[in-house]
């Protein structure tokens, strides 16, 4: 298996732990990721607020590079994933915006063939559907008995163009962890509730409140680890946790992991390999060696 | 005391051309089909902080209350999580409507001047246009300095946490010269609206 890897700005910055664990996990599973050379920012949510079309033009440039590589794209960041899908959707529908994207690419002399558009994939979907959970479980060498995982999907990943899971009640991550034999708080009702995104940096009160609700409910349901899928959710829940504790008079200290950390640990990667050093709250794995089935 | 002014608008004060302008766009094309069920406001995580809930914003757009809509905090508090879009029984892309209204508010100069959200959006826009990528740490620091030294101090602990875990970087993220030229050309394409 071979994919064009589109990291996005977060995975090179604050989401470094995500990139480390993803790359090492996929390497261990023999899934080859080749970084898209000279990729540019997807525009995140801000380009939509200022000039949506230009954001989509930029995204289309990445599509074109991946197309020249002849590979499908893996986008681990939720915002990148959504924007890539948005651009693909517009081009496929051939609406006003889609036609404009093609014209803009032509104007900038960027070659692009609209009849063959690379598919946009998410690492979670690749693990569960393409690689397959059965194969993954055969590779498991560590069982993680102490974990009570709260799967938190965040908002952007499942909406509104995603094809791989339900828009408001996704279950892919629950399924993945359950197959690895860990306990999962699968009735966590806030699994797709927004973490506030950049509100923690702009209007802090609102951002803190939204993240407080997420943490409080995770603890109340007996979670001892929150598994995330998005670098921004991870950033908010982890980096603002001490602020939330101070503001609401609580003690949490709950480790926030990426789903790649948990899978990586289960197949026997070391803490260093999956980038646990880059986390603020280290998880207590409570690992036991397990016979390879 | 609050300024005393009429709380009701008469029909001739409504800007119906604004309603039609929104309804003619790709993002706002079915606002007139809204049944005012309020699903959007119910699932919205930030609606309790807004001056008008999303349901009311849609109703106000339809009636043509242009200034009230474009000056509202609602459009800026939308964190674009797409809950409303996922739940709307009429298939209105409410998140995209909010984005569209933000763009209109910027274009027509209605956005709240000292509000950090549009400032961040603009900084982000300029940084990507220039370098092709974002250096997160620099972007965040710039925003905090622009919105007051008090905030820089308040965010110091977060910066320290990032530092401790080795997730800060002052290295400027940038794409190649050729890439930047391509981007510049793409940005100059005169199909788009706005700046």
A163 shares a domain with A206: yes
CATH no. for residue A239? 3.40.50.11810
Res B194: pLDDT: 40
Cβ–Cβ under 8 Å, residues B136 and A13: yes
Same domain, A65 and A205: no
The continuous run of DSSP H or E covering A120 comes out as strand A120-121
Q: Are A75 and A152 part of one and the same domain?
A: no
B4, with CB counted inside 10 A (0-12, 13-18, 19+), is: exposed
Are A14 and B167 within 8 A, CB to CB?
yes
Average pLDDT of every residue of chain A: 92
pLDDT band per the 50, 70, 90 thresholds, residue A89: very high
Residue A126 domain-assigned?
Answer: no
Interhelix angle for B136-146 vs B156-164, to 10°? 170
Q: Are residues A98 and A165 in the same domain?
A: no
Q: Retrieve residue B124's tokens.
A: 């982000």
Supply the pLDDT for residue A215: 95
A259-276: pLDDT as tens digits:
999 999 999 999 999 999
Interface with chain B: mutation pick from A14, A39, A40, highest number of B CBs within 10 Å: A40
Q: Which of B124, B157, B191 sits opposite A44 (nearest CB)?
A: B124
Sign of CA dihedral A17, A20, A26, A31: positive
Q: Do B165 and A202 touch (CB under 8 A)?
A: no
Q: Are A202 and B120 in contact (CB under 8 A)?
A: yes
Contact list in B for residue A43 (CB cut-off 8 A) is: 128
pLDDT score recorded for residue B21:
94
* Contact assignment for B82 to A12 by CB distance below 8 Å: no
Alpha carbon distance A89, A72 (integer Å): 15
Q: Nearest C-alpha of chain B: how many angstroms from A211?
A: 11
Out of A46, A197, A242, the one facing B125 most closely (by C-beta) is: A46
At B195 the pLDDT is 37
Q: Are A81 and A126 within 8 A, CB to CB?
A: no
A56 belongs to a structural domain = yes
pLDDT for B189 = 86
What value does the mean pLDDT take over residues A234-261?
A: 94
Same domain assignment for residues A117 and A161: no
Question: Residues A8-40, buried b or exposed e (16+ Cβ, 10 A)?
Answer: bbbbbbbbbbbbbbbbbbbebbebebeebebbb
Looking at the structure, tell me whether residues A92 and A161 fall in a common domain.
no
Nearest to A50 among B103, B143, B165 (CB): B103
Taking each helix axis from N to C terminus, what angle separates A78-93 and A46-69, rounded to the nearest 10 degrees? 80
Pinpoint the alpha helices (H) of chain B: 16-24, 39-43, 54-63, 66-71, 74-77, 83-87, 94-107, 116-131, 136-146, 149-154, 156-164, 177-188
Instruction: Give the end of a domain, one of A121, A140, A167.
Output: A121
Residues of B in contact with A17 (CB under 8 A): 165, 167
* A4 contacts A72 by C-beta, under 8 angstroms: yes
User: Do A157 and A102 have their domain in common?
Assistant: no
> Over its length of 195 residues, how does chain B's per-residue pLDDT go in tens digits?
677 888 888 888 899 999 999 999 989 989 999 999 999 999 999 999 999 999 999 999 999 999 999 999 999 999 999 999 999 999 999 999 999 999 999 889 888 777 888 888 888 988 998 899 988 888 888 888 888 778 888 888 888 888 888 888 778 888 999 999 998 888 888 764 443
Element (H, E) at A227: strand A225-228
**Which chain B residues are within 8 Å of A167, Cβ to Cβ?**
86
Query: CATH number, domain at A105?
Result: 1.20.1050.140
Instruction: Verify that A271 and A214 share a domain, yes or no.
Output: yes
pLDDT of A163: 78
In the block, residue with structure tokens 């250096």: B135
CA atoms of A276 and A76, how far apart (whole Å): 18
Does residue A61 surpass a pLDDT of 80?
yes
Domain covering B11-107 assigned CATH 1.10.357.10 in the classification = no
- Residue B77: list chain A partners with CB under 8 A: 199, 203, 206
Nearest CA in chain B to A275: B165
Size of interface A-B (CB pairs under 8 A): 199
A161 against A69, higher pLDDT: A69
Average pLDDT for A17-22: 95
pLDDT of residue A293: 53
The interface pTM score, or ipTM, of the predicted complex is: 0.88
Task: Please check whether residue B57 is in contact with residue B104, taking contact to mean a CB–CB distance below 8 angstroms.
Answer: no
Structure tokens, A286? 């409570």
Print the domain residue range for A46. Answer: 2-121
Q: Which two tokens stand for residue B61?
A: 């757009």
Contact check, Cβ <8 Å, B26/A50: no
> Are A106 and A162 in a shared domain?
no
For residue B189, which residues of chain A lie inside 8 Å, CB to CB?
57, 103-104, 107-108
- Report yes or no: B5 and B44 within 8 Å, Cβ to Cβ: no
Spatial neighbors of A120 by CB under 8 A, at least 6 apart, are A72, A73, A75, A81, A84, A85, A88
Q: Which of B165, B12, B177, B59 minimizes the C-alpha distance to A280? A: B165
Could you count the other beta carbons within 10 Å of the beta carbon of residue B45? 23
| Residue-by-residue DSSP string for B5-19 | --SS--GGG--HHHH
**Cβ-Cβ contacts under 8 Å, B96 against chain A:** 48
Q: CB distance B192–A53 less than 8 Å?
A: yes
Is residue A21 very low, low, confident or very high in pLDDT (cuts 50, 70, 90)? very high
Number of CB atoms found within 10 A of residue B41's CB = 20
Instruction: Measure Cα distances from B67 to A131, A250, B17, B159 in Å.
Output: 53, 42, 13, 39
How far does Cα A106 stand from its chain's mean position? 32
Q: What's the CA gap between A264 and A260, in Å, rounded?
A: 6
Sequence ranges of the domains in chain B: 11-107, 116-188
Neighbours of B48 (CB within 10 A): 11
Q: Which of B116, B125, B169 sits opposite A13 (nearest CB)?
A: B169
User: Looking at the structure, do residues A271 and A190 belong to the same domain, yes or no?
Assistant: yes
More confident call, A2 vs B154: A2
Kindly determine whether residue A107 and residue B186, on different chains, have CB atoms separated by under 8 Å.
yes
| A145 and A282 share one domain | yes
Q: What percent of chain A lies above the pLDDT cut of 90?
A: 77
Model pLDDT, residue B191:
60
Tokens at A11, concatenated:
């995975």
CA–CA separation, B155 and B146 (whole Å): 13
Boundary (domain end) residue, out of A74, A96, A121: A121
Which of B125, B129, B184 is most worth mutating to test chain A (most A CB atoms within 10 A of its CB)? B125
Question: Which residues from A are below 8 Å from B164, CB to CB?
Answer: 280
Q: Test A243 with B182 for CB contact under 8 angstroms.
A: no
pLDDT at A206 over 50: yes
The token duo for A273 is: 């390999």
Is residue B169 within 8 A of residue A97, CB to CB? The reply is: no
Contact A61 B182 (CB under 8 A): yes
Sort out which chain B residues have CB atoms less than 8 A from A10's CB and list them: 136
- Residue A292 is predicted with a pLDDT of 59
Residue at a domain's end among A121, A143, A175:
A121
Lowest mean pLDDT among A38-47, A61-70, A111-120, B109-118: B109-118
Using CA atoms, how far apart are residues A75 and A35, in angstroms rounded to an integer? 11
Is the same domain home to A55 and A104?
A: yes
A287-289 and A142-144: which strand pairing? antiparallel
Q: What is the pLDDT of residue B192?
A: 46
């Amino acid at each position: 298996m071979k994919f064009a890897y589109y990291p996005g700005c977060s995975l090179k910055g604050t989401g470094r732990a995500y990139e480390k664990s993803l790359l090492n996990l996929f390497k261990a599973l023999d899934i080859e990721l080749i970084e898209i050379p000279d990729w540019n920012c997807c525009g995140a949510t801000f380009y939509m607020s200022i000039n949506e079309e230009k954001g989509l033009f930029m995204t289309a440039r990445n599509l074109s590079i991946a197309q020249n590589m002849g590979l499908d794209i893996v986008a681990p960041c939720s915002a990148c994933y959504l924007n890539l899908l948005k651009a693909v959707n517009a081009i496929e529908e051939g609406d006003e915006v889609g036609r404009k994207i093609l014209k803009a690419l032509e104007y900038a002399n960027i070659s692009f063939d609209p009849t063959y558009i690379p598919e946009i994939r998410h690492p979670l979907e690749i693990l569960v559907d393409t690689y397959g959970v059965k194969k993954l479980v055969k590779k498991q060498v560590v069982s993680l008995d102490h974990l009570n995982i709260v799967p938190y999907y965040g908002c952007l990943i499942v909406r509104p163009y995603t094809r791989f899971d339900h828009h408001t009640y996704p279950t892919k991550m629950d399924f993945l962890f359950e197959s690895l034999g860990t306990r999962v708080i699968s009735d966590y009702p806030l699994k797709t509730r927004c973490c506030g995104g950049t509100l923690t940096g702009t209007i802090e009160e609102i951002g803190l409140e939204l993240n407080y609700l997420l943490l409080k409910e995770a603890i109340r349901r007996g979670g001892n680890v929150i598994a995330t899928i998005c670098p921004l959710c991870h950033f908010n829940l982890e980096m603002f946790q001490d602020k939330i504790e101070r503001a609401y008079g609580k003690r949490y200290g709950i480790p926030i992991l990426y789903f790649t950390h948990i899978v990586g640990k289960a197949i026997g990667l070391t803490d260093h390999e999956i980038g646990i050093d880059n986390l603020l709250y280290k998880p207590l794995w409570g690992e036991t060696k397990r016979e390879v089935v | 005391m609050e300024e005393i002014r009429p709380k009701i608008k008469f029909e001739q004060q409504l800007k119906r051309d604004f309603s039609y302008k929104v309804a003619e766009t790709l993002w706002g094309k079915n606002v007139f089909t809204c049944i005012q069920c309020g699903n959007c406001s119910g699932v919205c995580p930030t609606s309790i902080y807004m001056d008008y809930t999303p349901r009311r914003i849609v109703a106000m757009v339809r009636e043509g209350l242009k200034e009230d809509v474009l000056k509202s905090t609602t459009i800026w508090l939308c964190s674009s999580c797409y809950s409303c879009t996922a739940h709307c029984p009429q298939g209105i892309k409410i998140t995209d409507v909010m984005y569209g209204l933000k763009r209109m508010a910027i274009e027509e100069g209605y956005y709240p001047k000292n509000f950090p959200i549009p400032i961040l959006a603009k900084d982000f826009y300029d940084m990507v246009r220039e370098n092709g990528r974002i250096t997160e740490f620099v972007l965040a620091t710039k925003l905090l300095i622009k919105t007051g030294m008090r905030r820089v101090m308040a965010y110091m602990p977060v910066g320290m946490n990032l530092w401790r875990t080795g997730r800060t970087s002052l290295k400027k993220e940038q794409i190649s010269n050729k890439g930047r030229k391509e981007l510049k050309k793409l940005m100059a394409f005169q199909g788009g609206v706005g700046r």
